[in-house]
């Protein structure tokens, strides 16, 4: 169902009422975005779930452009979104872009053609989104960013971003390392397996990690390359690092568990002990990573929550009922170290 917009005196009255709502929320300490940042906002009073103009049934249709299936995190993220849509009675049109931004653009054009009510997208990289988001805005279809962010000059091109604070995840990884090496004199050589270059998790995790370890000038990142968040490339890239640097490597910071899992295979092939000869810090929190932590092969896992489905569907429903959404919605996340691995592994949902 299209979000309607009202113009003239009625529209302004409704906007004024909306502003009162915003002021009220701010006083209550709840952050909400300014109404003007919600394009084509339905200003109707909250009612039953909107009726679909097509079937006449109570139905919302969401077009979801998922970036790929590159990691266990991504597969869990997709499962969570599919399950939450089914649970919420929301029709989900799912398109897998296989890590291609061009395919994401094609998917969004398909959703516009199909006149979906909302577009959700997990952008593979941050840049290049302005034109396609303008096409969605011109079609009056609101866009929600799921998981990753985009770099656009006009924030009204999307309603909200639902996803982790990747910079904070990098900071947590750096803080763990400073703590772990507190008594160890330097120099300490670090290698880094970056995720997909140009993606917000890769950019921000790298920044957060570097900002923290800069406190010790004897901690040095001697090699950093992208392994695209996959097991295979994590193994290949770590194997190349070891061939070049061998036993000099004391620490691995992997931007996700899949790359850490691949790297551990390469480290063991080379004859070193992961988690002992090479301190390993990873991000995500998959069951496989926790099982390796139980074996003492991973020292720290910074959690990145893939289960965004329920938050995304709640945001869709609230937006379609005319409520304002905060510009940024961040899920709760923790940090896990060797001591809690046994307990945590049983809790893992993916
Ligand atoms: C982070 C997400 C990243 C995960 C990887 O929110 O975009 O992409 O850390 C996944 O496992 O491939």
pLDDT of 176 strictly over 80: yes
Domain boundary among 304, 323, 345: 304
Model pTM score: 0.84
User: CATH code at 86?
Assistant: 3.40.50.2300
- C-alpha–C-alpha distance, residues 113 and 110, integer Å: 5
pLDDT of residue 13: 46
Ligand 1 centroid – CA 283 distance (Å): 8
Strands 118-121 and 60-66: parallel
Which pLDDT band holds residue 19 (cuts at 50, 70, 90)? very low
Shared domain for 187 and 276, answered yes or no, is yes
164 pocket-lining for ligand 1 (C-beta < 6 Å) = yes
Shared domain for 258 and 280, answered yes or no, is yes
pLDDT of 314 strictly over 80: yes
| Beta bridge partner(s), residue 281 | 253, 300
Residue 103's domain spans which residues?
61-163+307-331
Q: Residue 323 corresponds to which tokens in the numbers above? A: 């409520």
Ligand 1 pocket mutation, candidates 121, 147, 201, 262, criterion most atoms within 8 A of CB: 201
Shared domain for 320 and 295, answered yes or no, is no
- C-alpha–C-alpha distance, residues 75 and 231, integer Å: 14
Ligand 1 centroid – CA 222 distance (Å): 24
Is 336 contained in some domain?
A: no
Is 318 contained in some domain?
A: yes
Which pLDDT band holds residue 60 (cuts at 50, 70, 90)? very high
Q: N- to C-terminal Cα distance for the chain?
A: 34
Residue with tokens 């070049």: 244
Residues 230, 258 contacting (CB under 8 angstroms): yes
Least confident of 52-56, 173-177, 289-293: 52-56
Residues 133, 152 contacting (CB under 8 angstroms): yes
Shared domain for 271 and 299, answered yes or no, is yes
The structural domain count of the chain equals 2
Strands 335-337 and 300-303: antiparallel
Top-ranked range on mean pLDDT: pick from 28-37, 52-61, 275-284:
275-284
283 pocket-lining for ligand 1 (C-beta < 6 Å) = yes
- C-alpha–C-alpha distance, residues 98 and 244, integer Å: 32
Under DSSP, the state recorded for 311 is: H
| Beta bridge partner(s), residue 278 | 274
Shared domain for 284 and 321, answered yes or no, is no
Ligand 1 centroid – CA 52 distance (Å): 34
CB atoms within 10 A of CB 123: 27
Shared domain for 193 and 288, answered yes or no, is yes
């Amino acid at each position: 169902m299209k979000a309607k917009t009202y113009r003239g005196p009625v529209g302004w009255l409704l906007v004024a009422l909306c502003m009162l709502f915003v002021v009220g929320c701010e006083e209550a300490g709840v952050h909400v975005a300014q109404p003007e940042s919600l394009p084509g906002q339905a200003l109707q009073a909250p009612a039953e779930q909107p009726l679909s103009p097509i079937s006449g049934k109570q139905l919302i249709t969401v077009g979801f452009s998922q970036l790929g299936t590159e990691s266990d995190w991504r597969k869990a993220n997709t499962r969570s979104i599919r399950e939450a849509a089914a649970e919420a009675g929301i029709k989900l049109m799912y398109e897998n872009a296989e890590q291609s931004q061009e395919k994401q653009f094609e998917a969004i054009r398909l959703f516009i053609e199909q006149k979906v009510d909302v577009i959700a997208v997990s952008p593979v990289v941050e840049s290049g989104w302005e034109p396609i988001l303008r096409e969605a805005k011109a079609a009056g279809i609101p866009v929600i960013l799921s998981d990753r962010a985009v770099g656009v000059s006009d924030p009204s091109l999307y309603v909200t971003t639902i996803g982790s604070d990747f910079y904070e995840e990098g900071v947590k990884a750096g803080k763990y390392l400073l703590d772990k090496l507190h008594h160890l004199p330097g120099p300490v050589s670090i290698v880094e397996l970056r995720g997909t270059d140009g993606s917000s998790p890769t950019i921000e995790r790298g920044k957060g990690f570097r900002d923290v370890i800069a406190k010790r000038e004897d901690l040095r990142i001697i090699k950093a390359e992208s392994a695209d968040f996959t097991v295979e490339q994590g193994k290949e890239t770590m194997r190349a690092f070891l061939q070049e640097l061998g036993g000099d490597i004391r620490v691995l910071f992997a931007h996700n568990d899949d790359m850490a899992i691949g790297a551990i295979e390469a480290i063991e092939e080379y004859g070193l002990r992961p988690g002992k000869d090479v301190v390993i810090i990873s991000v995500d929190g998959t069951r496989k990573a926790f099982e390796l932590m139980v074996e003492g092969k991973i020292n720290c896992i910074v959690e990145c929550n893939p289960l965004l489905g329920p938050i995304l569907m709640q945001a869709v429903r609230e937006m379609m009922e005319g409520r304002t959404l905060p510009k940024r919605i961040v899920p709760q996340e923790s940090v896990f170290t060797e001591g809690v691995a046994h307990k945590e592994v049983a809790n893992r949902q993916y």
